[in-house]
Amino acid sequence: MKTRTETLASLYQDGLFDIPSYQRSYSWEKSQLDDLIDDLRYLPEDSTHFFGNIILDEQDEQYRTDKGRRFDKYDVVDGQQRLTTALILLHVATKFDDVVDETVSEDSLIYPVEERPRLLPQDQDEEFFRDSLFGDSNLETKTPSQDRLEFAYQYFESRFEDPPSDVSVREISERLRYDCKINVVELDGESEAASIFESLNDRGKPLSSLDKTKSFLMYMDNRSSNQGALEAKIKQRFGSIYGELFVLSNGHNRVSDFDEDSFQRFHWGIYDGYDSDEYYNSLDTLKARLRNAYRQGDYGKVQSEIDKYTQDLREASSAFAALFRPLQRPEPVQSPLKHLLELGRVANVLPVLIAAQMEFGDDDPDKMVDIIEACETLVFRVYAVDGRRSDTGRGKLVRLAHNIHTDEEHGFNDTIGRLHSITRDYSDDERFIRELRDPEFYDSVTSQDIRYFLYHYGQNLEAAVGEHVEHKLPQILSSDFEVEHILARKLEEEDIPKDLREEFVDYVHRLGNLTIASDYWNKTYGNLPFKEKKTAGEEKEKAYESSSLRVQRALSDYNKFGKEEIEKREQDIIDFALEEWNVKEPEISGLEKVAKNAGETSW
């Protein structure tokens, strides 16, 4: 191992740099870019800035041009985020200052040869980096890392278009090239570069479990075969996985609840089943298995496990992405999937949905609809209305996902039956009704969940009279709408119905006294007595009778609204809820049928 200290400019001139396949993709975001600019901007005159360690692994073969020029080539084991960002900054700076452009060109810092820039990222990002970011092509981004590369380029453009008054673009460029000192570490001969990389962290951006997994699998493939027999497959599959996970940047807004690590955790449960320790430490489990097989000399098992795991992970990434692009699904699937995503708290059912998408996908939309609706019923009853802890039922649901994916005897009806069974475990009809009758329903269920509930009830009322929904669910769940108390919480004594004056506090927050109202309506008219809300008067432009929401307009049909009306309306809504989110048992097949024939449950 050799070490030396040099400037960024001299390092770039040492050769060509490749980001190896086991490396993480480009991950710097605005905060890291801000830090870099600030470091350069506030660097005192005649001072140097330590730019960190760069670990390099020299490749066996030099790069040769058609004209016979030769360049040493290095794999960047650590420091690729800094080297990549610095090269982008210099490239953008050449667009804003002619002297920078001239000196960078003279030193061949960016393009030492015509065929490629000084540094190239991994396979999935190489074309975009070379041809679009540093070339004349206009390619669309296809991966989250390409999105971040493009953002870095645009970030420096915006900073240099309006540079700080105390430092010029030229000064920033010169400080980066000549005043940033780097501690360069060159590994000797054949190194376990992937293993070293795994333990490193490039300027505060933690490695994702997915990054580490790719690194480790490349490393184990190389150790258990001749020259990495699965290298091409691993690179191709992880390239596809990162491409699919672009959905984390541009999918349905619910996807912001998740990241690469949570996706990989969901997949592990689907792939291997549920053990609470392994579920949250899947990479450690995978490492232990592969290392154990390697130590026993079973290289074939190492190879087959790597092949099987990466292929399955690739397929799961496609299913994961599909679920967060509901408008690209078959028409029957779109509405129920959108509603489930709007409801939220889908983390526990997501493994089931991923496994179902892998099993049925877009080829069998009717089955996907039934599974999505069964998941929505579970989420609504168990988490929204009953308020169960976020980990409730997690193990059961992950095991179900594993069965869907791996057990040939497990049928579609088994899946529906099991989802309903899990729902009944935590919120059977008796408990569900009890929660809906809670005198403090308004305080025990969130505003969004109540609006979600009453939106669906309103849809039912509209369907009964042949009306069309004017408001979409996302709008109802936004800050534009609120939960309204039909009998206002702060009514004057004379405005409280006589049959409620002794029990008003026990009825005011009940489900039967709640509806949906616009933010404007609720703030303007929400505290009025019921009879004044019903119809518009000279001083009031809106009323229940003119509401665009059927769930609110239907209230104008009541001559009065008191204890009896609240109880009757509450029962109507409960009857609707029991039908809309029912947990009926379907016809059984497969595993459950075998188990029942044996006189025992399979669950």
What is the sign, positive or negative, of the torsion defined by CA atoms of 355, 361, 363, 369?
A: positive
| Residues 525-568: tens digit of each pLDDT | 889 999 988 876 655 556 888 888 999 999 999 999 999 999 99
Would you list the DSSP string of 477-517? TSTTEEEEESS-TT--GGGS-GGGTTTHHHHTTSGGGEEEE
The 3-state DSSP class for residue 578 equals helix
DSSP secondary structure code for residue 183 in this structure: E
CA distance 457 to 556: 16
Q: Is the dihedral of CA 491, 497, 498, 501 positive or negative?
A: negative
Find the helix packing angle between 590-597 and 412-427, rounded to 10°. Answer: 70
* Neighbouring C-beta atoms of residue 295, cutoff 10 Å: 8
CB-based contact 136:34 (threshold 8 Å): no
Q: What is the pLDDT of residue 411?
A: 95
Q: Hey, what are 386's tokens? A: 């009953």
Residues 6+ apart with CB under 8 A from 157: 92, 95
What whole-number distance in Å separates Cα of residue 214 and Cα of residue 221?
A: 11
Residue 75, H or E segment: strand 73-78
Mean pLDDT of 458-477: 85
Q: What are the residues facing 18 on neighbouring strands? A: 75, 120
Spell out the alpha helix ranges (H) of 225-324.
231-244, 247-250, 260-272, 276-279, 282-295, 299-323
pLDDT in tens, 90-149: 999 999 999 999 999 999 999 988 888 999 997 778 999 999 999 988 898 988 889 999
pLDDT at 324 over 90: yes
Rg (CA), the chain: 31
Q: Is 273 left (phi over 0), alpha (psi -120 to 50) or beta?
A: left
What confidence tens digit (pLDDT) does each residue in 218-261 have?
Answer: 889 988 987 778 988 998 898 889 889 989 988 999 999 999 99
Strand extents, DSSP E, 280-429: none
The owner of tokens 């699998």 is: 217
256-303 per-position pLDDT tens digit: 999 999 999 999 999 999 988 889 899 999 999 999 999 999 999 999
Q: Is residue 507 pLDDT above 80, yes or no?
A: yes
**Region 305-314 average pLDDT:** 97
Residue showing tokens 């109802």: 476
DSSP label at 131? Answer: I
Enumerate the domain spans of the chain. 2-205, 233-427, 435-580
Phi-psi region of 46 (alpha: psi -120 to 50; beta: other; left: phi over 0): left
Computed over every residue of the chain, the mean pLDDT equals 89
When pLDDT is averaged across residues 55-72 and rounded to a whole number, the result is: 85
Say if residues 77 and 55 touch (Cβ distance below 8 Å).
yes
Lookup result for tokens 């040492």: 14
pLDDT band for position 482 (cuts 50, 70, 90): very high
Give me the pLDDT at residue 190, please.
Answer: 44
Q: Write down the pLDDT at residue 381.
A: 98
| Residue-level pLDDT at 469 | 64
Dist CA 456 CA 77 (whole Å)? 54
Q: What share of the chain is helix, strand, coil (3-state, %, to 5)?
A: 60, 10, 35
Is the pLDDT score of 336 beyond 90? yes
